[in-house]
Amino acid sequence: ELDDSDLAIFAAVIILSGDRPGLVNVKPIEEIQDSLLQALELQLKLNHPDSSQLFAKLLQKMTDLRQVVTEHVQLLQVIRKTEAEMCLHPLLQEIYKDL
């Protein structure tokens, strides 16, 4: 089980992703993410010395999460495209307009 410091670094790695659309200066973000990945690996080795595969498992979770995000974005695009053709509940319209 991850503790707060493990989760904080893992969340920072996820947030600081250089492949996000619209980024202008990708290289500095990727460098920060690389540093955070090194910090995460060290943190996991210190906090979980008996879990040698934990870092690899978290990297796989990041890959899985990116796939889910990609699918979510595609679904939102379909919803936006069809939104004009259908009458959505006002609450759903409010939720989707900010995404």
- In this prediction, residue 73 carries a pLDDT of 82
Q: Cα–chain-centroid distance for residue 86?
A: 31
Domain ranges of the chain: 4-97
Query: Cβ(1)–Cβ(28) under 8 Å?
Result: no
Task: Just give the CATH number of 4-97.
Answer: 1.10.565.10
Give pLDDT tens digits for 3-58. Answer: 999 999 999 999 998 887 778 889 999 999 999 999 999 999 999 999 999 999 99
Give pLDDT tens digits for 52-80. Answer: 999 999 999 999 998 998 898 888 888 77
